[in-house]
């Protein structure tokens, strides 16, 4: 029997996470020099809940002058922070990690409210991982000479950090923790649509007693990001976002002495061999593409199935996705939450239309979708090939393009036929195949018999148009130091 035996007669009752313990202001100012200050721009923008498209709060929009104030504060703080005994630096970072754990429930609910991701994910993945990044880099702060033996590591200075909307708190942790552990100070800009958990982190940082100006958080849209990139007194730019904006940033920094790391888009290949444990692989396919509504740079958005098992895998996959619950991000049963913004939903729908027009065979489940908000059912495209737009371009939504292959060399060639090189997955019982693929796939991360597993100890980053530099692990420290 090829179907997964799923008992579909079970109906889930609503299991809403409570919002009673969260504390949100009507208006958020910029976090500069350890205080919340009104923006010189005097402008605010609304931040919305993508599950209802209703406004949650108003957020300050930083202009060039605001960014300049933040950079000045970071520069001033750098003088003492970089000279502080590393053991003391570690204590602050450790304290931030503990405080995130203590306030985890509040962070999780706000992350789901503002970003649309299922509470199951923000509660069990985003927030614990964010705390883990602070713990991990707290550990390195006073051991840098062991990380780089026979060298004298020195901090770079002020780091400008720009992050996207898909993992708001986690991306802030990825950026801030290694930077301050190495003795740098920071000006961070969260994404326009999901600034709330970064601002809650600013409140937490204030409560932690971290010296003023070590972390500054300026909110705003692309212009605010550009003001950070082009500020003359910033020593390092760490950017995570689209390849398009990454290229813009690279162009504007060409010839300027600013260290840069770019974590950009992806189009991950998830490869299922005939000898794989098929039911587990089907779970892996679901996790690879439907985690966080597919708003994941390393999503396994290109599925390659060995031809001999293709019919079985596709039948099981259709059966499995028919059980996925799309709906309220705050419901603990929800598998796929809200699409992050109306703009992103339009982009995904545009790609689905292109997929159909170019001859792809679409399969969508008949799940019920809420009336208000931004939703997209889990979507499969069959009968597509390497030249289809939906196979080539990053969609950043719950849309999977499925192809088949016969030999190992064929799938390596197909998987590498992409301008991106961020991630891949391999499902097989043969270790030898895993080693061959991890060696020959052009991807910064290759998971074997699992997918979308993250750990602060592991470096993460891409090749080709997926960016340059690594974050996480020991490699992540290297991006924030120079040697003397
Ligand atoms: P964008 O590139 O649009 O935005 C990323 C950040 O840059 C946002 O804070 C954005 O501000 C800001 N920004 C926009 N324009 C400029 C500019 N000209 N100069 C400086 N900053 C600017 O990406 P998305 O937010 O849409 O994020 C999705 C992308 O991020 C996907 O391509 C995804 O693959 C990639 N990503 C990569 C990861 C990796 O580790 N490789 C991890 C996560 C995501 P605002 O949002 O306010 O406009």
> Which of 297, 376, 394, 465 is labelled catalytic?
297
Burial 267-284 (b: 16+ CB within 10 A, else e): bbbbbbbeebebeebbbb
Residue 182 near residue 480 (C-beta atoms within 8 A):
yes
Per-residue pLDDT of 416-470, as tens digits, reads 999 999 999 999 999 999 999 999 999 999 999 999 999 999 999 999 999 999 9
Q: Whose CA is nearest to atom 21 of ligand 1?
A: 225
CA of 251 to the centre of ligand 1 (A): 16
Residue 64 has pLDDT above 60, yes or no: yes
Residue 250 near residue 260 (C-beta atoms within 8 A):
yes
How sure is the predictor about 6, in pLDDT bands with cuts at 50, 70 and 90?
low
SS3 of residue 452 by DSSP: coil
The runs of H, that is alpha helices, within 182-235 are: 196-208, 222-229
Please name the residues in contact with 315: beta carbons below 8 A apart, sequence gap of 6 or more: 2, 3
Q: Which residues line ligand 1 (CB under 6 A)?
A: 162-166, 189, 191-192, 221-222, 225-226, 229, 240-242, 245, 248-249, 263-266, 297, 394, 396, 422, 462, 466-467
Residue 10 has pLDDT above 80, yes or no: no
Q: How many CA atoms are closer than 13 Å to the CA of 158, on its beta-carbon side? A: 25
Catalytic-residue membership of 297: yes
Neighbours of 353 (CB within 10 A): 11
| Higher per-residue pLDDT: 484 or 270 | 270
Per-residue pLDDT of 127-159, as tens digits, reads 999 999 999 999 999 999 999 999 999 999 999
- What CA–CA distances, in Å, run from 230 to 216, 219, 221, 243, 247? 17, 16, 15, 18, 14
User: What pTM was estimated for this model as a whole?
Assistant: 0.96
Residue 1 has pLDDT above 60, yes or no: no
CA dihedral of residues 90, 94, 96, 101 (deg, nearest 10) = 170
Average pLDDT over residues 292-312: 98
How sure is the predictor about 482, in pLDDT bands with cuts at 50, 70 and 90?
very high
d(CA 420, CA 304): 16
Catalytic-residue membership of 182: no
Average pLDDT over residues 290-294: 98
Residue 329 near residue 377 (C-beta atoms within 8 A):
no
| Higher per-residue pLDDT: 14 or 118 | 118
Pocket test for ligand 1, best of 63, 164, 298, 424 (most atoms within 8 A of CB): 164
Counting residues of the chain whose pLDDT is more than 90, the rounded percentage is 95
Residue 3 has pLDDT above 80, yes or no: no
Q: How many CA atoms are closer than 13 Å to the CA of 329, on its beta-carbon side? A: 31
Q: What is the pLDDT of residue 11?
A: 79
d(CA 130, CA 171): 8
How sure is the predictor about 183, in pLDDT bands with cuts at 50, 70 and 90?
very high
Per-residue pLDDT of 12-52, as tens digits, reads 889 999 999 999 999 999 999 999 999 999 999 999 999 99
Residue 5 has pLDDT above 80, yes or no: no
CA of 465 to the centre of ligand 1 (A): 14
The overall average pLDDT reported for the chain is 96
SS3 of residue 309 by DSSP: helix
């Amino acid at each position: 029997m090829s179907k997964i035996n799923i008992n579909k007669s079970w109906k889930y009752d609503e299991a809403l996470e409570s919002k009673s313990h969260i504390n949100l202001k009507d208006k958020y100012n910029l976090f500069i020099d350890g205080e919340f200050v009104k923006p010189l721009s005097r402008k605010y923008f609304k931040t919305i809940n993508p599950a209802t498209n209703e406004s949650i709060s108003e957020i300050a929009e930083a202009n060039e002058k605001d960014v300049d104030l933040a950079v000045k504060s970071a520069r001033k703080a750098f003088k003492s922070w970089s000279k502080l005994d590393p053991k003391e630096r570690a204590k602050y970072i450790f304290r931030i990690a503990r405080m995130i754990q203590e306030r985890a429930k509040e962070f999780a609910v706000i992350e789901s409210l503002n970003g649309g991701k299922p509470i199951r994910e923000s509660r069990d993945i985003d927030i614990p991982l964010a705390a883990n990044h602070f713990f991990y880099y707290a550990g390195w702060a006073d051991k840098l000479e062991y990380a780089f033996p026979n060298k004298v590591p020195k901090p770079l200075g002020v780091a400008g950090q720009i992050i996207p909307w898909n993992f708001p708190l986690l991306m802030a942790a990825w950026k801030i923790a290694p930077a301050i552990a190495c003795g740098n100070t920071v000006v961070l800009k969260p994404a326009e649509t999901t600034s709330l958990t970064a601002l809650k982190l600013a409140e937490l940082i204030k409560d932690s007693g971290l010296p003023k100006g070590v972390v500054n958080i300026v909110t705003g849209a692309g212009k605010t990001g550009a003001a950070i990139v082009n500020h003359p007194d910033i020593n390092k730019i760490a950017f995570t976002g689209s390849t398009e904006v990454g290229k813009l940033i690279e162009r504007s920094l060409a010839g300027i002495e600013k260290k840069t790391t770019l974590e950009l888009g992806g189009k991950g290949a998830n490869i299922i061999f005939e000898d794989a444990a098929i039911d587990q692989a089907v779970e892996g396919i679901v996790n690879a593409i439907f985690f966080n509504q597919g708003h994941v740079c390393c999503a396994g958005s290109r599925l390659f199935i060995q031809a001999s098992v293709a019919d079985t895998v596709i039948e099981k996959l259709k059966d499995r996705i028919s059980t996925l619950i799309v709906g309220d991000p705050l419901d603990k049963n929800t598998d796929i939450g809200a699409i992050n913004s109306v703009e992103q939903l339009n982009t995904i729908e545009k790609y689905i239309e292109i997929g159909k027009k170019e001859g792809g065979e679409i399969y969508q489940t008949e799940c019920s979708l809420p009336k208000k908000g931004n939703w997209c059912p889990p979507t499969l495209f069959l009968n597509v090939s390497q030249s289809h737009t939906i196979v080539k371009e990053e969609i950043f939504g719950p849309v999977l393009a499925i192809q088949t292959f016969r030999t190992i060399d064929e799938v390596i060639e197909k998987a590498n036929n992409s301008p991106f090189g961020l991630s891949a997955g391999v499902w097989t019982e043969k270790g030898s195949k895993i080693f061959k693929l991890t060696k020959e796939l052009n991807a910064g991360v290759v998971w074997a018999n699992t997918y979308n597993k993250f750990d602060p100890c592991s470096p993460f980053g891409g090749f080709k148009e997926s960016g340059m530099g690594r974050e996480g692990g020991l490699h992540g420290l290297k991006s924030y130091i120079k040697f003397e």
